[in-house]
Amino acid sequence: MWRKVAAASLVLAPVALAVSTGIDPALGEDQGYGVYRAHPEATQWHSLLLHWAWVLCVPGFLGLLALVRRRGAILAGIAWVATVLGLVTFSALMAADFGLLSLEQQPGLTDAQLTAYDDRIGAMPWAVWGWQIPGIAGWAVALIVTPLAAVRAGVINWWTAGLALLGTALYLLFAISPVPLSLTGPVVLVVAYAMAARQMLRFTSDGPDVFGAFRHHAGRICLVAAPLSFAVGMATVPLPQASAFFLHLAWVLFIPAVLTVAARGGRFTRVVSGLAVLGLIHFSALMFGDYLDLAARQALGDAVADRAADLTGGYVTFTLGWVLPGMVLTFLGLILVAVGAAVDRLVRWWAPALVVAGFAGFFLLGLGPIGVVGPLVLVAGFGSMAVALGTPTPTRGEPVAVSS
């Protein structure tokens, strides 16, 4: 199941990238303000599809890397970290287009005011060092190192890896060039990753799973680190830049955490884990909106920021294509993962009970110092799952390789 999902994601991601690039209203030499104002519908669909392109790359890359066992394990480890921490963070940066669109749609705002808004975001150290730098760097490393790790492990051939790298290079060079030049990279990537998907579906592996052991241990650490970061995010609410970062980090760290549970669970646990991962990628990205809102308030005033928030919330593409999948699948998915682990007898029933209590505390107690109570309960619930999972049992077949 996981292998098919990963293969489908590998194909759909560059397709979404190609469509997003083709409808981008800001292609060409005119990169100034006003383009989004003139093309609001195209801007929304471009940004949403671009976000989804990078979202779909995550399960695609993780599924491809999951087939690596010993040969190529170091490269796979680098690509895995870059995908989980960097590519997920990079997908969040697409929210900036919705933020700018909501400002350009307001009459009376000058280019100088919009420049002040952009400059304010660039002056936020948490936004730069917590999001932009790791996001862009991780995105580049994931796109380059993932095919290298896969070809080193024999999962794909050199022709496929070469095409993937060529497509990445073309996209980096011509992403904002006029059509059809801007489409060369995405089209080559479609071909490359369609070939990779076909090859990964046929791949069989054997031998000691060195990379699988790394993922398992990292996932167990994340089962504790994710709710701890959640608690830090709630405790630092008076410091909005820091709080948004740690909340984002919490949802990101939950991704390898739930995949580690899925690797030992049954079909139900694997399905809800996949849905939770999809939700977590979307939901973690929403935390970047805190920086956009803060920058608007500091540079343009509360009245403008409030109108921008109302406009953004009114975009159906953003609400249905980003916000709702993020919120619903994250919270429901994490609870059901804990329930599935209990059904599979990986943990006792008090573990999912603690998870439910932790999220109930989060929703009921609200912000402020008392808001850390719910996340701390989650530390106990997910931490007990990390202890129960213990050391992975060595395997020589497919299940571990394709289910995490």
Helical ranges in 66-157 per DSSP H: 73-81, 88-92, 95-104, 111-122, 125-127, 133-152
Angle ∠(166,162,3) on CA atoms, nearest 5: 105
Residue owning tokens 């049954």: 266
Q: Give the containing element (helix H, strand E) for 261.
A: helix 240-264
Contact 105, 311 (CB under 8 A): yes
Residue 340 domain boundaries: 2-402
Other Cβ atoms closer than 10 A to 333: 23
CA-CA distance, 66 to 209, in Å (whole number)?
10
Query: Taking Cα atoms as reference points, which of 36, 9, 133, 144 lies closest to residue 83?
Result: 144
Q: What pLDDT is attached to residue 370? A: 79
Q: Which long-range contacts (CB under 8 A, 24 or more apart) does 155-162 make?
A: 155/64, 155/67, 155/68, 155/196, 155/199, 155/200, 155/203, 156/64, 156/195, 156/196, 156/199, 156/200, 157/199, 159/195, 160/192, 160/195, 160/196, 160/199
> Rounded to two decimals, what is the model's pTM?
0.90
Q: What pLDDT is attached to residue 402? A: 34
Query: Taking Cα atoms as reference points, which of 47, 61, 125 lies closest to residue 92?
Result: 47
Q: With the CA atoms of 50, 52, 54 and 60 taken in that order, what torsion angle do they form, in degrees rounded to the nearest 10?
A: -140
Contact 312, 99 (CB under 8 A): yes
Other Cβ atoms closer than 10 A to 195: 19
Q: Write the single-letter amino acid at 152.
A: R
Q: Which long-range contacts (CB under 8 A, 24 or more apart) does 105-113 make?
A: 105/37, 105/40, 105/311, 106/304, 106/307, 106/308, 106/311, 109/300, 109/304, 111/32, 111/33, 111/34, 113/299, 113/300
Angle ∠(24,30,36) on CA atoms, nearest 5: 50
Tokens describing residue 306: 């409030």
Domain count, the chain: 1
CA-CA distance, 399 to 295, in Å (whole number)?
47
Angle between helices 373-389 and 240-264 (to 10 degrees): 30
CA-CA distance, 189 to 166, in Å (whole number)?
8
Other Cβ atoms closer than 10 A to 343: 16
Tens digit of pLDDT at every position of the chain (404 positions): 778 999 999 999 999 999 999 998 888 666 677 788 888 899 999 999 999 999 999 999 999 999 999 899 999 999 999 999 999 999 999 988 999 999 988 888 888 999 999 999 989 999 999 999 999 999 999 999 999 999 999 999 999 999 999 999 999 999 888 889 999 999 999 999 999 999 999 988 777 889 989 999 999 999 999 999 999 999 998 898 999 999 999 999 999 999 999 999 899 999 999 999 999 999 998 899 899 999 999 999 999 999 999 999 889 999 999 999 999 999 999 999 999 999 999 999 999 999 999 999 998 887 767 789 999 999 999 999 999 998 544 443 333 333 33
